[in-house]
Structure 1
């Protein structure tokens, strides 16, 4: 069965790597210097599907494909990089433009500037008011090292849910877009109806 989305494409290609090639990929991933970075303890000894989930949570699905293609090329697995790009393209993925494309698109970007605020920041008020089940999202944030156990416990102690969210936003502010991306991925999975409601508000 062909993959249906970027995450499944990435999972298929990583699963096809031989043991040594997969180890080289993981090693390159944890030594990648650009932010956000993946810590060794999140992927060491993990299966390919677990590494896929970590990458999607860290970079988003399309961003994870960008990173994987880059890393595969760096360790000379060009055919695997090309396979991933082709599979993902069939699922609607668009490759990250290179520096030349960015320069060519500069006039258009100036004419239609993008919002500088992250999706989570734009919908802060609605999230505080409407997100009632905070604990499942806290679990994801803790698992992905966005918050630590002390932060986790402090948020849980707050009452009611709106106060939990205000406290959580204090911590998310210090994580940058990487932490907010993990929060957003958890929101999509745990509270899909609320996510769709916020998405409609953005239109």
Structure 2
């Protein structure tokens, strides 16, 4: 039976020890949110188990945004393996419409094909405002850019030092001003690999 997003959320939250689940709930009550969303009240989270938390996430934030919030909080409480498991589970579930025989080739060419539009404007330029507001897990993207030598150590550390995801993305865009299409394609692929639901929502795949 195909698992729903709620099932994946529950599976990951159930992996947390009691102390870590408590941290998760505290962070969930305090996390900075996109405009138009409210934090889940502390009273509703206090005695919530993983099933309750998954329901609250979907109820308050819908599936796509709720999953991104969950991954961000897991990263922030040093549950990186659980965050990675959730990311892979969500990406796996989103690939059901892709035939296995063509998936490798289509994914390789998809980064460039999905990155532009008819007017020639690159995806990361067209959706600059949305990406600054909505990308939550910035550090894994920075790791890719550093490994590809698009950021040197100084720029990498400068972006990472910013206190919020929005400020990190805003600083990253400052450094992107001198980038060409190839560099932007690498960023697009890193965004897609780390936050496929968001890129889908913006029409990038």
The TM-score by the shorter chain falls in which range? 0.3 to 0.5
Q: Which has the larger radius of gyration?
A: 1
When the two structures are superposed, what TM-score results if normalisation uses the length of structure 2?
0.45
